[in-house]
Amino acid sequence: MQKGKYVLISGNCAVGKTTLAALIAKKLGFDFFGEEWQKNPFNKGNYDKKTQLEVDLWFLQKRAKQLKKIEKEIKRGKNVVGERCMQEGRIFCSSLLSKKELVLFDSFLGLLNYYCIKPDLLVFLEANPKELFGRIKKRKREFEKRLSLHHLQKLDKAYKKFFDSYRGKKIKIDSGLLDFCSNGEHIKKAVQQIKSALKE
């Protein structure tokens, strides 16, 4: 049996990961594995230096478990689209954790990431941090109240560095210029770009 493909959508907060992933699932018939951030029992402590470690460790183990499920689906010939990779936890917590906490986080990240499947294609979504900050204010998630424009700008720089150093098939899409919610042509363009990249 031929293995399926695994597409991963990556990027900063409010950049459109879930929206695009759901569209890919619908347009291309992929199974969608979302981040499920709502299930994190430590969300109230997000973006707080005192409690960030427990937030990110929960996400780390959750992603590892999810990737094992994705691996099984791919072996069955299913195509899968997901959001956020293991390394993205490091991007988020690097500026909030102490040196000792980072060492602990990195030890778990290295161990879990070693056994986890890697995507066939990384799709990096980017947009101006000011645009993202506006989107975050509109969606009014309680745990994002601490998230400042300055922090989004720091995340933006870290994400760009991550994408540039990523070894594997990858493409970049500027979601600040595209409307995935209501513009059919924009949706078609993004989906076609992903389809073409998978064929290369």
Digit-coded pLDDT (tens) for 69-105: 999 999 999 999 999 998 999 998 888 899 999 999 9
Residue 4 has φ and ψ, to the nearest 5°, of: -80, 180
Q: Is residue 172 included in any domain, yes or no?
A: yes
Q: Is residue 48 included in any domain, yes or no?
A: yes
The residue assigned the tokens 């969608």 is: 32
Tell me what the mean pLDDT of segment 139-146 comes to. 86
Q: Is residue 1 included in any domain, yes or no?
A: no
DSSP state of 143: G
- For residue 15, the enclosing domain spans 6-199
The CATH number of whichever domain residue 143 belongs to comes to 3.40.50.300
> Taking 90 as the threshold, does the pLDDT of residue 199 lie above it?
no
- Could you give the number of structural domains in the chain? 1
DSSP string, 152-180: HHHHHHHHHHHHHH--SSEEEEETTS--T
Question: Which residues, other chains included, contact 12 with Cβ-Cβ below 8 Å and sequence gap of 6+?
Answer: 125, 126, 127, 129, 132, 152, 155, 156, 159
Task: State residue 48's pLDDT score.
Answer: 86
Per cent of the chain over pLDDT 90 is 68
Cβ–Cβ < 8 Å for 35, 105: no
pTM of the model: 0.91
Q: Is residue 171 included in any domain, yes or no?
A: yes
pLDDT in tens, 3-62: 899 999 999 999 999 999 998 999 999 999 998 888 999 988 888 889 999 999 999 999
Q: Is 140 exposed, middle or buried (0-12, 13-18, 19+ CB in 10 A)?
A: exposed
User: Would you give the end-to-end CA distance of the chain in angstroms?
Assistant: 21
How many CB atoms within 10 Å of residue 96?
19
Task: State residue 125's pLDDT score.
Answer: 95
Q: Is residue 159 included in any domain, yes or no?
A: yes
Q: Is residue 32 included in any domain, yes or no?
A: yes
How many CB atoms within 10 Å of residue 79?
19
Cβ–Cβ < 8 Å for 127, 160: no
Q: Is residue 70 included in any domain, yes or no?
A: yes
